[in-house]
Structure 1
C-alpha cells in the first residue's frame, strides 16, 4: 500500500491545466501560429487527463492483485483491501480536484517535442496526515488504539480509519497554510498525432510488468 501512495503522489507532479502562458519557439521550429495554437490544445488535453489515467490503472492493478490472492485471503481481508483501494482512489481524486496548476511556459524544442513549465499548488500531505494525530483522533473517537499500517485492518477498522482520514483531509483543505507551491518542468513528445509525456512509456512499461 505504501508503494501505491508513493506512485500516486509522484503522479501529481505531472498534472497541469490550461491557462495564460508564454509560448517559445526554437529557431528550428517551423510550425505556424495556427498550428501551434492547435498543438497547444492537444498538449493541454494530454497533461490534464494522463495523470488520472495512471491513477485509475494503478488502482485497477491493486484490485486485480487482491483478486488473484483471493484463495490466500479470508472474505473479510479481501473486502477490507477492496474498500481501502476504493477509498484511496476517492481520496486522491479529491486532492486532484482541489489543487491548482498554472502553466507558465510551453517551449517548442522542435515540431514534435516541447518542454512545459508550470506552477503547482497542492496539499502537503505530511502536514495534514500526521501519523500521531491520526492515532490520537482514532483513540479519542473510538476508545482504543489503531493498529500499525503494516498490520491487517478489519472491515470495520478500515471504515473507521477512512473516516478519520477524510475528516483530516476536509480540515486540511480549508487551511491555506497546508498548501505548498512548486515549479515543475516536464518534456512531452508527439507520437503520431498525440502528445505524450517523455516518461509515459516508462510508466506504461512498469504497469505491464506489474500485471
Structure 2
C-alpha cells in the first residue's frame, strides 16, 4: 500500500467522528463491551494501544463488534505492525515515524497514521507521501497555537492531534482547518472501565461525538 493510499484511508476514518478513543486495555474481557459502548455513543473508530499484554486479544475481541473499526496504536517496530495485523487491526498509529516502521507498514499494506511533532518531521513524512499525520504530543508540542502555525506553510497536511487533549480543549483543536479529528482517552476513563459502567462510557462518547459540529 502506498503512503498516498494509506493517507486516503486514514482521512476517511478520521472523518467518521470528531474523536478517536485512545484505549489502554488491561483486561481483554472488557474489550468487547467497551467497544460496544463507544460505538453506541457514536465513536466507531477505536485505537487500542499496544502498551499492555492484553492489547492484541482486546483488538481481536473488538473486531467482532458490529460497526467498530479497530486499529492498533503505539506501533514502534516492524514486529508491532505484524502483530497488529495478525490481531485484525485495520489501521495503525505511531507516536513518531522511522524508515523501518514506514517500510513495514507499506509492505504489510497496513494504513498507518504516523506521528510528527515538528515542521521538519511533518515535511519528511509528506515527502514520503503521508498527507494525514498524527500531531503528537499535541499539548507538549505547543498545542493549538503550534498546530495552527503549521497549517500556514504546510496546507497539504491534515492532522489528528493526540496527547493532552480532553473535553476542555478538544473543540479548539477541531476548529482548526488542518485538524480532521482528535485522539483522546477521556471517553473511556479507567475508573468507568474497571466498574463496567458501559452506560457512562456511552454518555461520554455521545458528548464527544457532538464536538465540532
TM class by smaller structure: under 0.3
Larger radius of gyration: 1
Give the TM-score taking structure 1 as reference length: 0.28
Give the TM-score taking structure 2 as reference length: 0.28
